[in-house]
Structure 1
Amino acid sequence: MSDGKSSTTVRTRIREAAGQLTASERKIANAILADYPFTGLENIQELAAKTGVSAPSITRFVSKIGCSGFQDLQRQLIAELKEGQRSPLDLKTRQTPVGHSEFLSEYVRRIASVTQEMAATVSQAQFDILADLIADPSRNIFLLGGRVSNNVASFLSIHLRQIRSGIYHMSDNPEFWPEHVLRMRKKDVVLLFDFRRYQLSLARLAETIAQARGATIVVITDKWMSPAARSADHIVALPIEAGTAWDTVAAAIVLVEALIVRVSEADWEATQKRIRDWDGVRFSMPGYDQDTINGDDDET
């Protein structure tokens, strides 16, 4: 794979080529994107039968998205699957060293680049849809993440609970998932965070929710796509590479903070009342000294 290809996924190139595709080629594109990347890993005869187009049309399609042939398309899709399973040990072997003399400032520059990339790849329309779903008080919001990304889900849920009711951060223990799933209604929203070294349990959970409850599923992942994305109604693909042994969740945190602010302002009057009521209960609990919290503690 050339350097030009390696910087973008097959999914991205299919979307970029959308305006140049014929009606038959759009059928192929839609089939691959609907169950990405697995449909693209079927043999060419199976793909032709599934889409009702000829093998030569498939060959022309893969050429338009920058592949030298159908086998090259499959090699790239397999490479993407492998990329999604990279561990810190794998990433360390190809990291771009951060200079130790100015480590912090250089690392901050890298993170700034990641967040700028996020702003360029997540459209305003996509952000608006997500914010509107979360702000809708008629919908319950269920959140969960993977082994590390669950911390991002927790950060979002803590703030959302102070803004509106109906926020449920699901337990990371699958034994408790049935209680949440059985509570879900079709109009509710499920937010799943899953970045590479994906949690297959989240994919199974998303599939169960889609089939049994029909709730709207939003998967926030990276460009290699969590398997949970196969069941998603909305997918947000974020940049996570900082050129080090560790992927960064900086873009996810920036996105989440933007959502918190946007959702809180959707109905600021209701938000203010919720926060006042929330704090009224919180400060009445044992262990809270309002004077100390306000900085008015009079030490004796």
Structure 2
Amino acid sequence: MKAHKVKKDTSNLAILIHQASENFTQAERRIAQILFASDLMAGLETVAKLGAKAKVSGPTVLRFVSKLGFTSFPEFQACLRAELYQKLIYTTPHDSDHIADQISDNQAMSSVLKEADAFFENCMHRTLQRVNACELEEVTELLADVSRNLYVVGGYFTSPIAELFWYHLHKLRPRTHLIQTNAFKPHEQLSDTGRRDILLLFDICHYQEEIAILAEQAHQKRSTVILITGPKLSPVSRLAHHVLTCDFALFASHESLVPCLVMVELLAVSLEKKLGPEVILRQQDMQKEEQRSKAKHFFPRPA
């Protein structure tokens, strides 16, 4: 079948890839993930090296660039080089934003605020730019299947994010479970999972062996694995059915989880829209149950 080509807008390859993403196969999506994970720099590699990084064949790489509207891989690389060159020319050094931030405390705080404003805006933009619309839709479809058990787990760095996401999901759908790392051993909490269950993992930097073991366990039980990771891709990505990446960078020397929060909020909103009226009914039932519990007096009141 003839590949579907999109109209080329060579001013922004990231946008071009997103426009074509609805026609990508799963293998072609992995190429897009590798490109976004490297800020498109992986596109300067040879066909063989790019294919090896994405674990796809050379012909798959060529079909990928064809779907972007390019007649050859060299044409794609020429466009990429031109775009990277323009970014290099028009990038303003960050040092110019910190000319005299040691003059006074007020000026120092002003500098921090300016730096934070630029940093958080950029990292959130890059996170949303990396999201593949088709991948987001497929993940949302899975989460919206309320007949499936959904297990959520994070590592020692991302466990607060996993807990927050579980809180969102619990209000939206039943059969949502948070795997506790400080109670039973995590793998014991997955002992009864099967092929219709879902394991959603957070593994962003500081990769942990325990997370990889859980992914392997779910994979062996033929459960669906959804991974939320950083641009460099967790080792768990080889076992995941769906991979969503969020930008991970340092704000000064601080490791920011803001991009991960963006991903959590995005998935929660997407799921809420997908479930529609079911969410309202569930939340009304939960409120009624809470009111009934408060109305009961389990202990006698003092006379």
How does the TM-score come out when normalised to structure 2?
0.63
Take 1:111 and 1:149, find their aligned partners in 2: how far apart are those partners? 18
Residue 132 in 1 paired to residue 153 in 2? no
Counterpart of 1:271 (choices 279, 293, 298) is: 279
SS in 2 for 1:284: helix
Distance 1:13 1:234, change over 3 A: farther
Residue 114 in 1 paired to residue 123 in 2? yes
Distance 1:119 1:8, change over 3 A: closer
Distance 1:257 1:287, change over 3 A: farther
Counterpart of 2:219 (choices 210, 217, 235) is: 210
CA apart distance, 1:171: 0.9
Moved more, 139-148 or 179-188: 179-188
Residue 33 in 1 paired to residue 54 in 2? yes
Distance 1:194 1:100, change over 3 A: farther
Distance 1:196 1:287, change over 3 A: farther
Take 1:226 and 1:153, find their aligned partners in 2: how far apart are those partners? 16
Distance 1:201 1:281, change over 3 A: same
Residue 155 in 1 paired to residue 164 in 2? yes
Take 1:277 and 1:161, find their aligned partners in 2: how far apart are those partners? 13
Matched residue pairs, number?
218
Take 2:229 and 2:154, find their aligned partners in 1: how far apart are those partners? 10
Residue 165 in 1 paired to residue 186 in 2? no
Q: Tell me which residue corresponds to 1:254.
A: 262
Moved more, 189-198 or 96-105: 96-105
CA apart distance, 1:200: 1.7
CA apart distance, 1:261: 1.5
- Deviation track 1:242-271 (CA, whole Å, cap 9, x = no partner) reads 442112111111121121122112122211
Maintained 8 Å contact 2:195/2:222: yes
Take 2:241 and 2:146, find their aligned partners in 1: how far apart are those partners? 20
Q: Tell me which residue corresponds to 1:281.
A: 289
Take 2:149 and 2:40, find their aligned partners in 1: how far apart are those partners? 32
Take 2:235 and 2:269, find their aligned partners in 1: how far apart are those partners? 29
Distance 1:32 1:112, change over 3 A: closer
Take 1:210 and 1:29, find their aligned partners in 2: how far apart are those partners? 26
Take 1:117 and 1:32, find their aligned partners in 2: how far apart are those partners? 21
Q: How well do the aligned residues superpose, as a CA RMSD in angstroms?
A: 3.3
- Deviation track 1:134-169 (CA, whole Å, cap 9, x = no partner) reads 112222211000112111111111111111101011
Distance 1:276 1:188, change over 3 A: same
Take 2:40 and 2:224, find their aligned partners in 1: how far apart are those partners? 23
CA apart distance, 1:114: 0.5
The one-letter code of the counterpart of 1:101 is M
Residue 222 in 1 paired to residue 230 in 2? yes
Moved more, 111-120 or 168-177: 168-177
Take 2:173 and 2:210, find their aligned partners in 1: how far apart are those partners? 28
CA apart distance, 1:118: 0.9
The one-letter code of the counterpart of 1:258 is L
Higher relative contact order (CA 8 A, sep 6+): 1
Q: Where do 1:56-205 residues align within 5 Å?
A: 100-102=108-110, 103-173=112-182, 175-205=184-214
Q: Tell me which residue corresponds to 2:246.
A: 238
SS in 1 for 2:255: coil
Maintained 8 Å contact 1:218/1:234: yes
Structure 2 segments unaligned to the other structure (5+ residues)? 1-34, 57-72, 78-96, 102-106, 297-303
Take 1:202 and 1:174, find their aligned partners in 2: how far apart are those partners? 16
How does the TM-score come out when normalised to structure 1?
0.63
Maintained 8 Å contact 1:190/1:215: yes
SS in 2 for 1:273: helix
Distance 1:10 1:242, change over 3 A: closer
Q: Tell me which residue corresponds to 2:68.
A: none
SS in 1 for 2:254: coil
